[in-house]
Amino acid sequence: MRTPIMLLIIILFTILSGCSAKKSLPNEELPSNSNEVHPKEVSLSSFEIEQIMKLASNGMVIDSPFSIFESSIQQVKSSWGEPDQIDEVAGGSYATYKERNTVFGFNQYGEIYDVRSYNKNLQELKMEKIKHELGQPKDIRENNQESIYVYEMKNKTELKFIFSNDLKSVDHISIYNPGRFETKQYTLDIKGNSNQLSVKAWESMKNWREEIKQFSVEHPSVYVNGPNKKMVALTFDDGPDEKITPAIINILNDYNVKGNFFFLGSNVKLHPEVVKQAFESGHLVLSHSFNHVELSKLGKSEVEKEVKRAGEEIQSVIGKMPAILRTPYGDTNDQVVNVSKEQGYSIVLWSIDTLDWSQKDATNIVKNVVDNVRNGDIILMHSDSDKMETEKALPLMIESLEKMNFEIVELETLLNIKAYQ
């Protein structure tokens, strides 16, 4: 027979053993900062689905702090470095960061419109689970390889669960902002007239304008205009020279306006002091090739040489390699685009041609701008030695644009791209 003292000892031992035993919790109940649990071991419960929805409402997905409402691919690169790869699709580009399980879709202005997470935990989510927690999706899109469940969020953004048809589980999720994607589709008609063009020349120009506009839609690294914001850019081709280019620089400085100079490498070699003046005044010094030839008529090695020589000539003067190229005559094809990208260039053309090279008249130059200006216009002028009327027109143009409340900016700001490599 056990004594009361023995019974008391047994009871105390049992209580103490229970208190010291480690409680076993299911993975989803473990604290997020536990060092004993690898993230892939945490199952996706209702709580995690709620977290996915909460992040999505702010334009984000798991693993990424970047938003489809306000982030840019430049911000991603500044924080995460260069992506493993960039793939172009019609209307946009996609940057892949493999180690971070994240892909960003961005438009031609660098604005992020799609963020995708490939976090392996997502594979635990099944179709039935998603529908049970979130209800019936707004839309289900299917193809041979996958099914996409689309849930509409605020501001008409979409949260998408992409299911593998083989596994019937989530492959990845996407938060998508169609408003930012459609910004790429804001492509302006190219404006500007001259009474000095023959009927044949005018028809040829109109055809080129339509063709290059469509070409820019299909090639995200080719720009005809900027976004639908009340900003414009003033650009000047064919310089530098010893007279007109310095005069234009001085006018821009007087009005505290930044310009964009597409210099020919051959002229940079002749007038390096003018190039330095433009750069030190805060204007962008960009490339217009070396010899001003039709690049589409050259072989690949010749195109490479034209672009490379011009960049190196500019770099020898300002210490920086340009990252923006304007092709002579706007002459651009797939080969020119590919060579430019290989050498680190975006191609920037124009949406208003002042025709200062044809109808050399200050009144017409200003009229071509004032009558046609729209949000995001890139305005083409020239700064070589016979453009006295352009010099005369520039102050009137700046004053007119400012009265219309347009902000005059450099291309780096307008297009959200790098000016220098």
For 242-283, what is each residue's pLDDT tens digit?
999 999 999 999 999 999 999 999 999 999 999 999 999 999
pLDDT at 29: 31
Q: Is the pLDDT of residue 293 over 80?
A: yes
- The one-letter amino acid at 363: T
Q: Are 251 and 369 a contacting pair, CB within 8 Å? A: no
pLDDT at 24: 30
SS (H, E, C) 238-294: CCCCCCHHHHHHHHHHHCCCCCEEEECHHHHHHCHHHHHHHHHCCCEEEECCCCCCC
Count of helix runs (H) and strand runs (E) in the chain: 14, 17
**What mean pLDDT, rounded, does the chain reach?**
88
Domain count, the chain: 2
396 found inside a domain? yes
Question: Are 267 and 155 part of one and the same domain?
Answer: no
Q: Are 290 and 253 a contacting pair, CB within 8 Å? A: no
Domain assignment of residue 119, given as a range: 43-183
Question: Are 249 and 151 part of one and the same domain?
Answer: no
Domain C-terminal end among 152, 183, 214: 183
Q: Are 383 and 237 a contacting pair, CB within 8 Å? A: yes
Dig out the tokens for 36 from the structure: 């004993």
16 found inside a domain? no
Cross-strand bridge partners of residue 236: 261, 381
pLDDT in tens, 214-236: 999 888 889 999 988 999 999 99
Q: Is the pLDDT of residue 373 over 80?
A: yes
Lowest mean pLDDT among 91-105, 282-296, 378-392, 393-407: 91-105
Question: Are 278 and 243 part of one and the same domain?
Answer: yes
pLDDT at 91: 67
Q: Is the pLDDT of residue 307 over 70?
A: yes
Q: Are 368 and 354 a contacting pair, CB within 8 Å? A: yes
Domain C-terminal end among 126, 157, 183: 183
12 found inside a domain? no
pLDDT in tens, 13-70: 444 444 333 333 233 233 333 333 333 334 455 658 888 999 999 999 999 999 999 9
Residue 145 sits in a domain of what CATH number? Answer: 3.40.33.10
Question: Are 82 and 217 part of one and the same domain?
Answer: no
- Quick one: residue 63, left, alpha or beta (phi over 0 = left, psi -120 to 50 = alpha)? left
Question: Are 179 and 216 part of one and the same domain?
Answer: no
Q: Is the pLDDT of residue 108 over 80?
A: no
Q: Is the pLDDT of residue 2 over 70?
A: no
Q: What is the mean pLDDT of residues 388-398?
A: 98
Question: Are 218 and 146 part of one and the same domain?
Answer: no
Dig out the tokens for 264 from the structure: 């020919």
Active site residues: 237, 382
Name every residue whose Cβ is closer than 8 Å to that of residue 401 and which is 6 or more positions away in sequence.
232, 369, 370, 373, 408
Q: Is the pLDDT of residue 360 over 90?
A: yes
Question: Are 135 and 191 part of one and the same domain?
Answer: no
2 found inside a domain? no
- Angstrom distances, CA of residue 250 to CA of 82, 204, 256, 393, 395: 38, 36, 10, 14, 11
Q: What is the mean pLDDT of residues 403-408?
A: 98
20 found inside a domain? no
pLDDT in tens, 184-199: 568 999 999 999 999 9
Distance CA 397, CA 401 (A): 6
**Between these two residues, 162 and 88, which has the higher pLDDT value?**
162
pLDDT at 37: 33
pLDDT at 45: 57
346 found inside a domain? yes
Query: DSSP secondary-structure letter at 383?
Result: -
Q: Within 10 A of 374 (CB to CB), how many other CB atoms are there?
A: 16
Closest alpha carbon to 240 in 313, 143, 146, 303: 313
25 found inside a domain? no
Q: Is the pLDDT of residue 85 over 90?
A: yes
Q: What is the mean pLDDT of residues 401-414?
A: 97
Question: Are 131 and 249 part of one and the same domain?
Answer: no
Closest alpha carbon to 352 in 207, 191, 211: 191
Distance CA 178, CA 81 (A): 26
pLDDT at 145: 83
pLDDT at 305: 98
Question: Are 171 and 315 part of one and the same domain?
Answer: no
Residue 334 sits in a domain of what CATH number? Answer: 3.20.20.370
31 found inside a domain? no
Q: What is the mean pLDDT of residues 375-387?
A: 97
**pTM over cut 0.75:** no
pLDDT at 90: 62
pLDDT at 237: 98
Question: Are 171 and 257 part of one and the same domain?
Answer: no
Q: Is the pLDDT of residue 398 over 50?
A: yes
pLDDT in tens, 154-189: 778 999 999 988 777 899 999 999 888 865 568 999
Question: Are 288 and 169 part of one and the same domain?
Answer: no
Q: What is the mean pLDDT of residues 270-297?
A: 98
Domain C-terminal end among 129, 149, 183: 183
